[in-house]
Amino acid sequence: MISSLHNGVSALKSLTQGLQVLGNNIANVNSLGYKSARANYSDNFYLHLNDAESGADGVSNNNLQQHGTGVHVGSISSDFNQGTIETTGLDLDIAIQGEALPNGGGFFEVVNPTTAEVFYTRAGAFEEDVQGNVVTRDQYRYQLQGIDGLVNLALQDGETLISRRIEEDGKVNLIVSLTDANGATEDIIRNVGQIRLVNFQSPQYLRRAGNGFYSNGSPGEDLAGLVGNFIPANGSNGKIKQYSLELSNVDLTNEFATMISHQRSFQAGSRVVTTSDSILQEAINLKR
């Protein structure tokens, strides 16, 4: 196989992977808390037919012959910048308003109640289950973590819920009407916990687990470098915004422009393959 044919094939294979990344971004343009990804390309190792050498008189020989062997996907990086925040009006819809803070201001921490596996997410669509625990609004029902354990909104005896208020610093308060033994009622504010935010030193090492969840590795691992600050609106952590959800940060204009570039590059790689095939065909014809 001539080198140009191998180079063209490597371009087709790598660009196909890049198109898969682009397609996944576009498919998740409406996914809550989704963070876009990008394929980063690198040139393959080179064949050094003749390297620079130092001659007897100390003058280097610059008769270099280095041939590349194509391209490959060096890495796939994630963009953790904050997406657009949309107002929903639901009191357990919460978003992390990180803006220019590192990594968009952190992640919510949720736990699988069956396996105790920990995940991190920017999708803040939550609801209350029958036990009063705040869980994700999907089929997984992962439990939202607070500073001191689960966030639980269960009412106490004699209480009637009026509203739920979540402050910027993550404090969760219940405004309830309390009825005493004499039948008298009084409206009170009761704090039931504080939402925990988690940030990482190197979020690119987080593993995507699907459904907007990320993993920091197997139990006992710390792949992304957990930062020991869990208080919202403090340090590199963003503010909590109630009645809101963070949408995907995918920029469709940029994705389509990149897709056009990939398409043209793919066509050029295909042309290299067909041209190399024509050269091989001519070489075969010479033998006849």
Digit-coded pLDDT (tens) for 215-239: 999 988 999 999 999 999 999 899 9
For residue 28, name the pLDDT band (cuts at 50, 70, 90).
very high
Q: 133 and 211 share a domain? A: yes
Checking if the pLDDT of 288 tops 70, the result is no
| Owning domain of residue 141 | 85-246
Q: How far apart are the first and last CA of the chain?
A: 20
Q: 34 and 16 share a domain? A: yes
pLDDT in tens, 101-139: 778 899 999 999 999 999 999 999 999 999 999 999 999
Q: 116 and 242 share a domain? A: yes
Q: How far is CA 189 from the centre of its chain?
A: 36
What pLDDT, on a 0 to 100 scale, did the predictor assign at position 60? 67
Q: 37 and 90 share a domain? A: no
Q: Give CA separation, 82 vs 102, 105, 248, in Å.
A: 10, 8, 8
Q: 151 and 66 share a domain? A: no
Q: 269 and 230 share a domain? A: no
Q: 130 and 218 share a domain? A: yes
For residue 57, name the pLDDT band (cuts at 50, 70, 90).
low
pLDDT in tens, 154-196: 999 889 999 999 999 999 999 999 987 777 888 999 999 999 9
What pLDDT, on a 0 to 100 scale, did the predictor assign at position 284? 84
What pLDDT, on a 0 to 100 scale, did the predictor assign at position 151? 96
Q: 139 and 275 share a domain? A: no
Checking if the pLDDT of 253 tops 60, the result is yes
pLDDT in tens, 237-246: 999 999 999 9
Q: Give the chain's domain count.
A: 2
Q: 131 and 93 share a domain? A: yes
pTM reported for the whole predicted model: 0.88
Checking if the pLDDT of 264 tops 80, the result is yes
Q: 234 and 259 share a domain? A: no
Q: Share the mean pLDDT of the chain.
A: 92
What pLDDT, on a 0 to 100 scale, did the predictor assign at position 101? 79
Of 213, 231, 246, the residue at which a domain comes to its end is 246
What pLDDT, on a 0 to 100 scale, did the predictor assign at position 279? 87
Tell me how far apart the alpha carbons of residues 119 and 117 are, in angstroms, rounded to a whole number.
Answer: 7
Q: 150 and 49 share a domain? A: no
Structure tokens at 260: 């056009």
Q: 134 and 198 share a domain? A: yes
DSSP codes of every residue in 113-179: TTT--EEEES--BEEE-TTSBEEESSSS-PEEEETTEE-B-PPPTTEEEEEEEE-TT-EEEEEEEEE
What pLDDT, on a 0 to 100 scale, did the predictor assign at position 1? 56
